[in-house]
């Protein structure tokens, strides 16, 4: 068995370190330790292993030794491009499925068959009008129904382009995609086509396959991110600034703790509601009340709209259970490690799966459908209440630390704050700060934590390097967890900002009656990467420039998920450079690597030449940040600012 990493090399979060130490002491297996025992496969990690048919698996040795083609004759470039496309398809499918589930919930809410209100009627009207729906003399529910049906067309129409592309895309970006023939018609059609073309004996052209990947990026961006955010805001409210607590210390010994984990907020919103309503039942079993804590992006969703505390990002999800005080972990879809069940069996925790197509052997299953959301949420909360007295006092250990963070920075909230400075033209102060150089550029730090990596260090280091250099940083996903836990979303973090950036943050904050804006603006979950995209589109429109010429970048320092690759591709298709700190598994093909990562002087077609942005793969976060700063500076130079 390989040697396990020292606790300090696993995470820079002290609470995570304490709980991992406890897990090891108690003989509990976690992803961090499994990562140490998993040897890296040289074929898989460079993308050269093909399993697309039963003639194989075929592997191409990258050093030129051994067979240079698969049995069917596919060369290494075809194999790598096809594997890359499969990853993007998987990512896009996850987010598209999220979007579709929300659209169906909105439809049922509008038809009165699911117990949800329409919380943001203003956004409903705005989206409806932008979709060119006639809203005169119509009730909100009628309008919501038409919006939901428009959304569902994005999973069924056979001609034209997706409604949400038309609704949200910048016209210059769209023109490029149309010219290349990569604009999606409907999400399901494109995902199905993508799976079909990756099969043995279909698309063998690496460039064509990579262009298919761009379509997957756009499916993810519009049917996944934008559609989900828009409809979730309509249903649950558009986030506004909130204050919340982060880190494992948010668990409470004297309360019933329920972790909500996964991505879609439909069930978790109801769990929060029912936890409040059933508080007296919690008291009957001797608890002070019910404490809901967030994990992964379900955590982000509840944080943004309800100020719910956040316990953990992806890589440390099992450790929430190791605290010994978690009565239940309720999960929906995506990023839910199957390993949580084995950990839960060492404690009194119930893992509760909720969707018919996401089950874990041994876990409880309380099936969720929008129409009986209230019943499912009550059953879940009651199950947790019933577990409170089953705790083993000898196994309880809650890390002390919690960190305060400000979140809830939807695009609408950002614009509202800026309007306090310039009511006529809210974006103007931001644009002026960028053109004057007070803000050197804007970066979105997004994506995951990965058990193979030292948790939080990549995300936090990239952020601090950029802040120091006066780059305005926004964050989503588990990267936002990392930054919040390390004081980058509260006033303490201002110490890491360059002088000029700090002045801008203080200026905007003070106009809103606060000492300052936080150094990093939390924009939400992974699907909320639509929010920075919306902000970019608004800035580009205001300046009359394409998005590709703006000094903006994205960074995904600790990714684990194919979803992060498809989101990254969505941004590259806009001409935004995207840094990844974990191998995207394409290095086995010089041709594919060049297409994604090459620069203007590379031979052949590159993302940079076609879109104006590229993939930057760099494992060292300081160097990664440096490369991003260079890209920001070259875009500034091209604009003459």
Give the Cα separation of 612 and 437 in Å (integer). 22
Contacts to ligand XCC from residues 467-506, by CB under 6 A: 477-478
Q: Which listed option, ligand SF4, ligand XCC, none, makes contact with residue 526 (CB within 5 to 8 Å by class)?
A: ligand XCC
What φ, ψ does residue 556 adopt, rounded to 5°? -135, 75
Q: Are 164 and 100 in contact (CB under 8 A)?
A: no
Q: Which listed option, ligand XCC, ligand SF4, none, makes contact with residue 563 (CB within 5 to 8 Å by class)?
A: ligand XCC
Comparing CB distances to ligand XCC, the nearer of 461 and 529 is 529
Of 161, 351, 526, 550, which lies in the binding site for ligand XCC, with binding defined by CB under 6 A? 526
> How many of the other CB atoms lie within 10 Å of CB of 546?
18
Comparing CB distances to ligand XCC, the nearer of 95 and 188 is 95
Bridge-based pairing state of the strands 615-617 and 403-407: unpaired
Residues that bind ligand SF4 (CB under 6 A): 50-53, 55-58, 70-72, 74, 79, 200
Angle of the 76-111 helix axis to the 590-597 helix axis, nearest 10: 50
Q: How far is the CB of 573 from ligand SF4 (least distance, A)?
A: 27
Comparing CB distances to ligand SF4, the nearer of 70 and 598 is 70
Is 408 among the residues that bind ligand XCC (CB under 6 A)? no
Q: Which listed option, ligand XCC, ligand SF4, none, makes contact with residue 53 (CB within 5 to 8 Å by class)?
A: ligand SF4
Comparing CB distances to ligand XCC, the nearer of 238 and 561 is 561
Q: Which listed option, ligand SF4, ligand XCC, none, makes contact with residue 354 (CB within 5 to 8 Å by class)?
A: none
Is 53 annotated as contributing to ligand binding? yes
Is 346 annotated as contributing to ligand binding? no
Comparing CB distances to ligand XCC, the nearer of 234 and 310 is 310
Residue 41: DSSP 8-state: P
Which residues are CB-neighbours of 93 under 8 A, at least 6 positions away?
191
Is 91 among the residues that bind ligand XCC (CB under 6 A)? no
Q: Are 562 and 87 in contact (CB under 8 A)?
A: yes
Give the Cα separation of 394 and 378 in Å (integer). 30
Is 497 annotated as contributing to ligand binding? no
* DSSP assignment of 130-160: HTT---TT--HHHHHHHHHHHHHHTTT--SS
Is 448 among the residues that bind ligand XCC (CB under 6 A)? yes
Q: Which listed option, ligand SF4, ligand XCC, none, makes contact with residue 411 (CB within 5 to 8 Å by class)?
A: none
Residue 617: DSSP 8-state: E
Residue 454: DSSP 8-state: P
Comparing CB distances to ligand XCC, the nearer of 298 and 378 is 298
> Whose structure tokens read 């609704």?
167
- Please name the helix (run of DSSP H) or strand (run of DSSP E) that holds residue 525, with its range, or none: none
Is 296 among the residues that bind ligand XCC (CB under 6 A)? yes
What φ, ψ does residue 546 adopt, rounded to 5°? -75, 155
Give the Cα separation of 303 and 106 in Å (integer). 21
User: x/- contact string, 329-368, with ligand XCC (CB under 6 A)?
Assistant: ------x---------------------------------
Is 72 annotated as contributing to ligand binding? yes
In 503-610, which ranges are E strands?
Answer: 520-524, 552-556, 577-580
Give the Cα separation of 171 and 182 in Å (integer). 15
Q: Which listed option, ligand XCC, ligand SF4, none, makes contact with residue 257 (CB within 5 to 8 Å by class)?
A: none
The alpha-carbon radius of gyration of the chain (Å, integer) is 24
Contacts to ligand XCC from residues 227-286, by CB under 6 A: none
Residue 453: DSSP 8-state: S
Q: How far is the CB of 299 from ligand XCC (least distance, A)?
A: 8
* Cα dihedral 160, 164, 170, 174 in deg (nearest 10): -30
Is 481 annotated as contributing to ligand binding? no
Q: Are 438 and 501 in contact (CB under 8 A)?
A: yes
**Which window, 47-55, 241-249, 251-259, 561-569, contacts ligand XCC (CB under 6 A)?**
561-569
Q: Which residues bind ligand XCC (CB under 6 A)?
A: 296-297, 313-314, 335, 447-448, 477-478, 525-526, 560-561, 563-564
Binding residues for [Ni-4Fe-4S] cluster: 263, 297, 335, 448, 478, 526
């Amino acid at each position: 068995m390989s040697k396990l990493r020292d606790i300090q090399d696993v995470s820079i979060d002290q609470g995570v370190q304490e709980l991992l130490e406890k897990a090891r002491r108690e003989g509990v297996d976690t992803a961090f330790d499994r990562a140490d025992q998993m040897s890296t496969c040289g074929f898989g990690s460079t993308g050269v292993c093909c399993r697309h048919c039963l003639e194989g698996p075929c592997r191409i040795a990258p050093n030129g030794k051994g067979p240079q083609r698969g049995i069917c004759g596919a060369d290494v470039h075809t194999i790598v491009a096809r594997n890359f496309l499969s990853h993007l398809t998987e990512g896009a499918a996850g987010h598209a499925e999220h979007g579709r589930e929300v659209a169906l919930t909105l439809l049922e809410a509008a038809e009165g068959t699911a117990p949800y209100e329409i919380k943001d009627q203003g956004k409903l009207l705005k989206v409806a009008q932008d979709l060119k729906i006639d809203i005169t003399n119509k009730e909100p529910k009628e309008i919501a129904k038409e919006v939901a049906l428009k959304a569902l067309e994005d999973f069924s129409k056979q001609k034209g382009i997706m409604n949400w592309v038309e609704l949200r895309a910048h016209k210059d970006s769209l023109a490029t995609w149309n010219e290349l023939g990569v604009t999606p018609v409907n999400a399901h059609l494109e995902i199905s086509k993508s799976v079909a073309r990756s099969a043995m004996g279909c698309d063998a052209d690496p460039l064509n396959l990579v262009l298919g990947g761009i379509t997957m990026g756009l499916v993810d961006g519009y049917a996944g991110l934008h559609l989900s955010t828009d409809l979730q805001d309509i249903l649950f409210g558009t986030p506004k600034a909130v204050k919340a607590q982060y880190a494992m210390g948010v668990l409470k010994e004297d309360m019933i703790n329920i972790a909500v984990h996964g991505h879609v907020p439909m069930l978790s919103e109801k769990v929060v509601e029912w936890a409040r309503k059933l508080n007296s039942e919690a008291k009957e079993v001797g608890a002070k009340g019910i404490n809901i804590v967030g994990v992964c992006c379900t955590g982000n969703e509840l944080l943004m709209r309800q100020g719910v505390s956040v316990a953990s990002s992806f890589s440390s999800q099992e450790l929430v259970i190791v605290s010994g005080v978690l009565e239940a972990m309720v999960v929906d879809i995506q990023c839910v490690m199957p390993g949580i069940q084995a950990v839960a069996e060492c404690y009194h925790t119930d893992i509760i799966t909720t969707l018919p197509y996401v089950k874990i052997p041994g876990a409880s299953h309380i099936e969720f459908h929008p129409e009986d959301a209230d019943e499912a949420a009550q059953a879940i909360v009651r199950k947790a209440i019933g577990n409170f007295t089953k705790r083993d006092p000898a196994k309880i250990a809650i890390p002390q630390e919690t960190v305060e963070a400000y979140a809830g920075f939807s695009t609408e909230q950002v614009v509202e704050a800026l309007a306090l400075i310039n009511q006529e033209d809210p974006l103007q102060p931001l644009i002026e700060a960028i053109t004057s150089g007070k803000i050197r550029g804007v970066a979105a730090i997004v994506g995951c934590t990965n058990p193979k990596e030292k948790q939080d260090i990549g995300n936090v280091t990239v952020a601090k390097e950029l802040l120091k250099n006066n780059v305005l940083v926004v964050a989503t996903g588990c990267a936002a967890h990392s930054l919040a836990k390390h004081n980058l979303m509260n006033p303490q973090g201002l110490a890491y900002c360059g002088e000029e950036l700090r002045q801008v943050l203080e200026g905007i904050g003070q106009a809103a009656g606060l000492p300052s804006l936080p150094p990093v603006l939390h924009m939400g979950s992974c699907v909320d990467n639509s929010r920075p995209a919306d902000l970019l589109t608004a800035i580009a429109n205001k300046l009359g420039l394409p998005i590709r010429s703006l000094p903006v970048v994205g960074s995904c320092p600790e990714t684990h998920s194919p979803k992060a690759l498809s989101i990254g591709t969505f941004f590259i298709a806009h001409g935004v450079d995207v840094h990844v700190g974990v191998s995207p598994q394409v290095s086995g093909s010089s041709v594919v690597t060049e297409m994604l990562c090459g620069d203007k002087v590379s031979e052949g077609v590159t993302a940079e030449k076609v879109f104006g942005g590229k993939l930057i793969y760099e494992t060292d976060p300081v160097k990664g940040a440096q490369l991003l700063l260079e890209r920001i500076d070259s875009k500034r130079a091209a604009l003459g600012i």
